[in-house]
Amino acid sequence: DRVELLHTKLQAYTQFGLPKVPSQLAFHQDSWEEEEEEPNLTLEDSWRQLLEDPELFLCGLLNLQDNSLLLEVEPARLFSNIHDIVHLHSTLWVQVMFPVLEKARSTQSLIDPADLEQGFSTFASRFQPYMRYCMEEESCMEYMRSLLRDNEIFKIYITWAETNKQCNRLKLADMLAKPHQRLTKYPLLLKTILKKTDDQTSKEALNNMVACVESFINSVDSQMRQKQEQQKLAAISARVESYEAVEGASEEVERALKEFNRIDLTAPMIDTSPEATRQLHLEGALRMKEGKDSRMDVYCFLFTDLLLITKPVKRLEKVKVIRQPLLLHNVVCRELKDTGEG
């Protein structure tokens, strides 16, 4: 019985601790300095926790899979490239933070921010794996929610992990969100140091580091916004029925036109750079004048480059394009004094 076997394994983990990290993981935890000096202790403990939190969740899952439990769970879909994230933080610690910390200890002086500048100048290349992790974070969350909803064995394991002292009583959702949150703390930490720094050379070094970190974070945020906009556009495209731009003279002509009778809102905009993406700025119901005395209820979508005039399809959550899409660069607007005549 899988449930009974799971409970036996979890009881053993509780009593004896989690087994050795499986070979699938390589978090590269180099030796930590054991001296407990304020404020360096807080810094080192923070790095330790970053390495240990995902290891505990993922280590438990992989060990259970080694015992033929939860084989249906895909670690990469649940944790994305978390091992790359932990590795880059570990590398930053070993190559940048720890040597500076050791220098301050050996000279019994404060950390010199200028010693960190060279290491932080490569922040964007070091932290490139964050781009993938942040882009996949929401899909990992959704996969986690589906597993908790549909997989009783997985739910039992996560409930045990989230209430276990060895897992720091951390919720899985919080652990998945923590890497992204930690990324945004780097500039805050550097700015806090900057406020307490008087030396001009150190200030310049810190300002350069803040600029490097914020530039990378902005690029991540930009990529995430573009992805969200693409998802929003794809959802709207799914709601828009085929657009009959030209009426076919025969069935053969209609078949030939069919592949073109679809508005792809995710396609690139005309005469713009590849980086530019279409965005939905406004949508809503309007009344459109048709003829001299009649008006029609329509539903409009205002995008970066075009205006879609549609009509809701009865009993379906879809809309049908009833007018040729209006490219905004061809639209001329005039303010009318008598709005009743518009």
- DSSP calls for 210-234: HHHHHHHHHHHHHHHHHHHHHHHHH
Residues in the chain: 342
Q: Which residues of the chain register pLDDT less than 50?
A: 24-42, 342
Range(s) for CATH 1.20.900.10 in the chain? 2-237
CATH annotation of 251-341: 2.30.29
Looking at residue 187, its pLDDT comes to: 92
H or E element at residue 294: strand 294-303
Would you give the end-to-end CA distance of the chain in angstroms? Answer: 73
Range(s) for CATH 2.30.29 in the chain? 251-341
CA distance 29 to 187: 24
Looking at residue 264, its pLDDT comes to: 84
CB 299 within 8 A of CB 319: yes
Query: Model-level pTM greater than 0.75?
Result: yes
Nearest 10 degrees: CA dihedral of 104, 110, 115, 116?
Answer: 110
Looking at residue 169, its pLDDT comes to: 74
Q: Residue 208 burial by CB count (10 A; 0-12/13-18/19+): exposed, middle or buried?
A: middle
Cβ atoms < 10 Å from Cβ of 66: 13
Looking at residue 50, its pLDDT comes to: 55
Say whether 18 sits in a helix, a strand or coil.
Answer: coil
| CATH superfamily of this structure's domain 2-237 | Dbl homology (DH) domain (1.20.900.10)
